[in-house]
Amino acid sequence: MNIDIIKDECKRQGISRIIKYDEPLNNHTSLRIGGSADIFCSPNNIEDLKKVVFISKEHNMPFRVMGNGTNLLILDGGIRGLVINLNKDFKKIEFSDKIIKVGAGVSLALLSKMALDRELSGLEFACAIPGALGGAIINNASFKGECMADVVQNVTFLTRENRIEKISKSNLNFNYRECNLKSESVIILEATLMLKKGNKEEIESKIKQNIEIRKTSQPLDKFSAGSIFKNPPGYYAGELIEKVGAKGLTRGKAEVSTRHANFIVNNGGASARDILYLIEEIEKRVTKNFGIKLEREIEIWGEP
Ligand X SMILES: Cc1cc2nc3c(=O)[nH]c(=O)nc-3n(C[C@H](O)[C@H](O)[C@H](O)COP(=O)(O)OP(=O)(O)OC[C@H]3O[C@@H](n4cnc5c(N)ncnc54)[C@H](O)[C@@H]3O)c2cc1C
Residues of this chain that interact with ligand X (CB under 6 A) are: 30, 64-72, 86, 104, 129-132, 134-136, 138-139, 141-143, 187-188, 218, 220, 224-226, 299
Out of 23, 124, 283, 297, the active site residue is 297
Tell me how crowded residue 59 is: count the other CB atoms within 10 A of its CB: 14
Question: Which residue, 65 or 79, is less far from ligand X as judged by CB?
Answer: 65
* Shortest distance, position 36 Cβ to ligand X, whole Å: 16
Question: Which residue, 240 or 265, is less far from ligand X as judged by CB?
Answer: 265
* Shortest distance, position 31 Cβ to ligand X, whole Å: 8
Question: Which residue, 70 or 271, is less far from ligand X as judged by CB?
Answer: 70
* Shortest distance, position 4 Cβ to ligand X, whole Å: 27
* Shortest distance, position 14 Cβ to ligand X, whole Å: 23
Question: Which residue, 77 or 219, is less far from ligand X as judged by CB?
Answer: 219
* Shortest distance, position 9 Cβ to ligand X, whole Å: 23
Out of 42, 227, 257, 271, the active site residue is 227
Question: Which residue, 121 or 142, is less far from ligand X as judged by CB?
Answer: 142
227 is catalytic: yes
Out of 177, 255, 283, 285, the active site residue is 177
190 is catalytic: no
Q: Which residues are catalytic?
A: 177, 227, 297
